[in-house]
Structure formats: C-alpha cells, structure tokens
Structure 1
Amino acid sequence: MLNINRSAFIQSGLRIVTMLFIWMLFANISLKMFFVNPKLLHLTLIGLAFAALLSEISKPKKNMLFVIGVDVVLGILLASLYLDTPSVNVWLILIDFVLANLLLIANFIDEPHCRWIIYGFISGTGLVLLYTTSYHHYFSLVSLMYITLLIFANIFFSYYAFMKKNNQLSMIIISVLLLMLCLTLSISFLKIILITVILAFYVYFESRVNFRNHEKRANVSSVSFLLFALLICF
C-alpha cells in the first residue's frame, strides 16, 4: 500500500508541475525569465500552489487537509500580490481562487457540465494574463487568442475529471473549435497535423478507457495536453 501511495503521490506531483509548465508556455515568455524576474517568480509560486489546488478538483476523493494547507499558502501569496499590485488583473486570479474552492464543495456546484466549463475558465487563465501584463506591460490581441485557446484546451483535456460516460460528441466539437483557433495563430501545416493526431488520440483513448481508472486517465490527459502546448507555443 505504501508503494501505491508513493507512486500516486509522485504522479500527482508530476501532473501539478506539468500544469504549471503549460501555463508558462501559453504566456509566451522566455522560460528563464520566470526564475530571474522577481514578479514572474512570485506569480510562478502562486501558479504552483494554484495547480496543486486544481489537481484536487479532478480527484474522486479529495484530501481536505491538503486543500486547507494549499488554501492558506495561496491566500498569503495572493494577499502579498494584491498589496504589491492592486489592479483589476489581480482580481481575476482572486476570482479563480474563489471558484476553485467552490468546485471543491461538491454540493455547491454539482452539475458536471457546469463544473467542467468553470474549470476550463479558471485553470491558469488569470495567471497567464498576469504573466503577460507583468512582463510586457500590455495585453495584445495575440495574447487574447492564446488565452482563448488555453480555455478550450483546458476544457478538452479535463474531460476525464468531470465526465463519467463514454460520450465523446462534446469532445469532438471542442476539438474542431481548437483546430479552428490554431489556424488563426498561423501555425504550420505540419504542426496542425500533429495537433490533430493528439486530439484524435485523446478522444479515442477516452472512448476506450475504463472511466474508473482515474490515474491512467489523468496521466494521459496531462501528457497529451503538454504535447499540445509544446506544438502551439514552440
């Protein structure tokens, strides 16, 4: 049992780090800047804690002690951020924080599709916006397109966390929207083909996998999302 718990802990940790790395990619900032720029480093610590909080939403059994601990750390980091930068952009990530906690209260928002959509909107979007405005000091149309793409990608690749039945129609519709958004970013034809393969694979995987196998579904989702993000952002 100890080995199983340790394995699950390591896998969960890797998924959290992967989630944060994906958000960093969508910010379109040189990776080294996240560790040398004080503001970006502060935001990265917030992102790590927020990714840990979101990881609990997708789990069938929540560790509420872990959630409380993360909430305390995240609350302190967000408070210090607001005191340093009291702007509208900070309020967006504060709203994400509140909504994430509401999703952890199962009886408060219990409709799966509603939970799924909310998760897609709050998963990293506020952080990516803060990354962009903190580093570039402006927000461009291209940045808006990347955040829009991130929202739809969040929804697509978090299917495993909210949907229990093998009904992939919604996934197919979202995958088509994702491809249309990719085309607006002037991505090369080869990358479009590879992205199509990743999206098709994930739809096929979800149509075949046992919905009770949470760890397998979560791991495949995380790897598929990472490959998708690498193709989009590099």
Structure 2
Amino acid sequence: MIARYASQIQFGIRTLMLLAIWMLFSNIAFSQFFLNHELLKLGLLGLPLAALFCLIVTSKFSRLSLFLCDTLICILGLFFYVNNHLADGLLLLIDFGAANLLALTHLVDEPHCQWIIYGVINGSGIVFLFNISYHHYFSLVSLMYITLLIFANIFFSFPAFMKKNNQSSLWAILVVILIICFSLSISFTRILGISIILAFYLFFELRAHAQNEDKHQNISLFCQLLFALITFA
C-alpha cells in the first residue's frame, strides 16, 4: 500500500515537472501563467495533458487513468476552442490523437518509431498554443525553441522506449541539441551547463541499467527540467 502511494506521488511530481518544462520552453515569464487569463486556462489544460504523456512511458497503466486524462483534456479543450480558432489548436489535437494511438493501439509497434513520435508530440502543441495565446504570433525563434524541445524529448525519453543501449544515436542527438543552442545565441556559460547535464544523463543514467521504472523516469524528467532551467531561466 505504501509503495503504491509512493508511486502515485512520484507520478504526480513527474506530471508537474513535465508541465513546468513545457512552460519554460515557451520562453514566457513564469508569472504570466498565473496573471494572463488565456495562459492560466492553457496551464490547466496542460495538467491532464502532461499526465497523459507521463502515462505513455509507463509500462503498466490503468485504462481508467487514461480515460480520466482524456476526459479532462476534452472538457478543458472545449473551453479553449469555444473562444479561439480551431486552426490554432490543430497541432494540439494531433498530439492528443497520436498520444492515444501510442497508448491504446499496436499500430506503431517499432520502438524507434514510438520513440521519435513521442519526442515530436510531447508538448509541441501546447507550447505552440502558449506562444500564440500570449504573443498573438509565432516567430522563427519560437519554432527553434519547439525544435529544441523535440530533440530534448527524444534524448531524455530514450530508456522508456529503447531496451538496448545505443549511445551512437544519443551522441548524434546531443550534438544536434548543442548546435541548436548555439544557433539560438545562448551564452557560453549556459551551453557549458547544458553540456554537463547532457553528459551526466548520458554517462551515468544510461549506464546504471536501473530496473526501477520510476527511477528511470524520475531521473530523465529531472535532468530535462534542469536542462530547461539552465536554458531559459
């Protein structure tokens, strides 16, 4: 019973961490998510959405939990779509549909495909909406931030989908992440901090071969949160 409660608490913390990562990658001041009415609504929508993406990388999850997440996303999403153009939320709808496709079907059963799809859909739609709702436009820099988010998702979600340690792929993704950081004119000090986080994750977490799924997910999300904090805070 205690282990079950501990696992549920860890899941809740991971959900909050994932939502915080999305907020940071939008490059909007954190206080605005509590002061701006539209961002506040999207933040509330992001909670069940983050829980859905945390469920996807859990090997054993209840269909009831997935149903509750989907129901909350649909209800909160309706409040958003009533007052906004459907086209603005199209990317979020694609993310939501693809997430359920990964969770409920075996249509995509190749681990590499699952890994890449998860990286692309994890937060890209909601971060896009954060920017559109706050700035009322979408810039090339914002697109670069979402691109960085996608590659960070792929890098840090590796253990959830890939059973064999393929560090050549991770090295390639690491290099791409650093190239994007340089192209965004992030300071050398921040890039150095980012490099340390990526190296720590690559050499320590993936070589640990931990069998505890919660531990893998906790370390992955914690490192990604540190990555986002160093990049945007």
TM-score of the pair, normalised by structure 2: 0.96
Native 8 Å contact 1:202 1:224 kept in 2: yes
The corresponding residue for 1:218 is 217
Aligned-partner Cα distance in 2 for 1:146–1:172: 20
> Aligned letter for 2:118?
Y
Native 8 Å contact 1:90 1:130 kept in 2: yes
| Residue 159, structure 1, aligned to residue 176, structure 2 | no
Native 8 Å contact 2:115 2:158 kept in 1: yes
Structure 2: segments with no counterpart, 5+ residues = none
Aligned-partner Cα distance in 2 for 1:129–1:79: 17
The corresponding residue for 2:15 is 16
Question: What do the CA deviations read for 1:52-75 (whole angstroms, capped 9, x no partner)?
Answer: 001110001121110001111111
**Identical columns (%):** 50
> Aligned letter for 2:151?
F
Q: How does 1:5-154 map to 2 (within 5 A)?
A: 5-154=4-153
Aligned-partner Cα distance in 2 for 1:87–1:65: 28
Native 8 Å contact 2:25 2:127 kept in 1: yes
Q: CA deviation at 1:211?
A: 5.0
Question: What do the CA deviations read for 1:125-169 (whole angstroms, capped 9, x no partner)?
Answer: 111111101111111111111111011001111112111112221
Aligned-partner Cα distance in 1 for 2:220–2:230: 16
The corresponding residue for 1:173 is 172
Q: How many residues align?
A: 233
Q: CA deviation at 1:213?
A: 2.1
Structure 1: segments with no counterpart, 5+ residues = none
Question: What do the CA deviations read for 1:162-192 (whole angstroms, capped 9, x no partner)?
Answer: 1111222111110010000000111111211
Q: CA RMSD in A?
A: 1.2
Aligned-partner Cα distance in 2 for 1:142–1:176: 19
TM-score of the pair, normalised by structure 1: 0.96
> Aligned letter for 2:82?
L
Native 8 Å contact 1:157 1:221 kept in 2: yes
